[in-house]
Amino acid sequence: MRPTLLLPALAIVVVLLAGCAGGRMGPVPPLTSSEPAASVTVQRSRSALGAPASMLFSIDDRKVYALRWGQQFSFMIDPGEYRFGYDLGFNQCRQRLILEPGERYIVRMTPVCQIELLRYGDLR
């Protein structure tokens, strides 16, 4: 490859890899309640739609975690009402969820704006 083409090709690779990056983006709200915390596991579906891009999970419109295809992220949070959501490409999806003290939840997210809240005990 000629040196004049190397720099633009490298720039394209960096941009593509940045879109696939996953991991923590910001903090989960701190635990402050005297009630037992809720345990939440957020799962991104293994759908082919949007697979190359990271799903940017947010709590109350604050980005918390970038989930790659099929990845999950677990955390503890005070019970209460929250607005969970994600950005994936041009999709911005949000849903109001109420979390109860001491409960364990699975939040399943698909690239077609489905955010499903399940109690851990309901999965058995």
Residue 32 has what pLDDT? 96
From 122, 78, 112, 124, select the one nearest 97 (Cα to Cα).
Answer: 78
- Residue 70 corresponds to which tokens in the numbers above? 């099929």
pLDDT means per 10 residues, the chain with 124 residues, are: 51 43 89 96 87 93 95 97 94 95 95 91 66
**What's the rounded Cα separation, in Å, for the pair 2 and 54?**
32
- How many of the other CB atoms lie within 10 Å of CB of 9? 10
Q: What is the pTM of this model?
A: 0.79
**What's the rounded Cα separation, in Å, for the pair 17 and 32?**
37
Q: Cβ(19)–Cβ(13) under 8 Å?
A: no
